[in-house]
């Protein structure tokens, strides 16, 4: 797809590639394949800026994150850590408020799909634990190996995994650091779907990204206002707020901004007239 007409210029990138595989969809590809897409300090800032830009750019409605090569993301750049230690400085674990890769603690407006094409270790696993939808290739491997390196997964995954997969399974991942394969991750509820294999049993090249584009295209067909507010409603429950308090916050907050608005009126009118809705970009 050609680059869409953007109202806000995208941030400059050194460690990622930005592309637009279908209307309203941003594809962010981590592009350090020789380093298994581990993320250094500058890479965290870059990704934080990318997701903030996506939220602000009216023509974009949903993002996809994947990795180049055989890894999704192998976590932090431990060579950078080692270099800092060798010079007498402590490793810099300070991240933006959005967390590892701009995702592990992100509370953004627009949804992000993780297309996990391979290794998702450490910070890579922390990123997917807070993505809105997780799709995996058959070769995907999820793990929190921090205990093997004398560090801790502090970027948000531990409490989120406890809610997503249950206390015992979260403990298993955190305390053993073992790999969880795609099929097991799906059975646990850690991913939504696994991309198909070809007739020889091999993963279809780029299959998980194509699957993610299909999911994103489906979501992108619907009212961008409704998608943003629906995501916020789920987030309120995810963060442990009581059901009634979360419902009140949603109704008194974002819902009031779209009630009777252009997209709501268009959706109802399109249903009555038995035609496809013609959405406008969200102003939320």
The residues carrying an active-site annotation are 76, 123, 126, 146
Question: How far is CA 66 from its chain centroid?
Answer: 9
**Contact (Cβ atoms closer than 8 angstroms) between residue 227 and residue 263:** no
* Residue whose structure tokens are 């949603």: 250
Q: What are phi and psi of 133, to 5 degrees?
A: -140, 140
Question: How far is CA 27 from its chain centroid?
Answer: 11
Contacts of 68 (CB under 8 A, 6+ apart): 17, 29, 30, 31, 32, 33, 37
* Residue whose structure tokens are 């981590």: 30
- Written as six digits, the tokens of 179 are 């790999």
Nearest to 124 by CA among 133, 264, 115: 115
**Contact (Cβ atoms closer than 8 angstroms) between residue 25 and residue 64:** yes
3-state secondary structure of 84: helix
């Amino acid at each position: 797809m050609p680059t869409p007409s953007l109202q806000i210029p995208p941030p400059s990138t050194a460690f990622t590639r930005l592309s637009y595989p279908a209307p309203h969809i941003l594809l962010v590809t981590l592009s350090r394949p020789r380093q298994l897409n581990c993320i250094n300090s500058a890479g965290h800032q870059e990704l934080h800026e990318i997701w903030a830009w996506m939220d602000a750019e009216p023509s974009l409605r949903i993002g996809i994150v994947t990795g180049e090569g055989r890894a999704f993301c192998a976590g932090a750049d431990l060579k950078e850590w080692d270099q800092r230690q060798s010079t007498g400085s402590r490793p810099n674990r300070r991240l933006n408020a959005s967390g590892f890769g701009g995702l592990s603690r992100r509370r953004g407006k627009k949804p992000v799909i993780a297309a996990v094409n391979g290794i998702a270790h450490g910070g890579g696993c922390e990123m997917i634990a807070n993505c809105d939808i997780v799709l995996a290739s058959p070769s995907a491997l999820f793990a929190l190996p921090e205990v093997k390196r004398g560090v801790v997964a502090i970027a948000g995954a531990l409490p989120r995994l406890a809610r997503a997969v249950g206390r015992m399974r979260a403990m298993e991942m955190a305390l053993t650091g073992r790999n969880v394969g795609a099929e097991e991750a799906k059975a646990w509820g850690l991913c939504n779907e696994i991309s198909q294999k070809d007739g020889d049993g091999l993963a279809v090249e780029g299959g998980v990204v194509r699957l993610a584009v299909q999911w994103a295209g489906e979501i992108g067909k619907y009212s961008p206002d409704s998608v943003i507010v629906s995501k916020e409603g789920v987030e309120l429950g995810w963060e442990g707020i009581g059901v009634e308090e979360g419902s009140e916050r949603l109704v008194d907050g974002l819902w009031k901004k779209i009630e009777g608005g252009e997209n709501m009126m268009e959706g109802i009118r399109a249903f009555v007239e038995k035609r496809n809705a013609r959405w406008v970009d969200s102003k939320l």
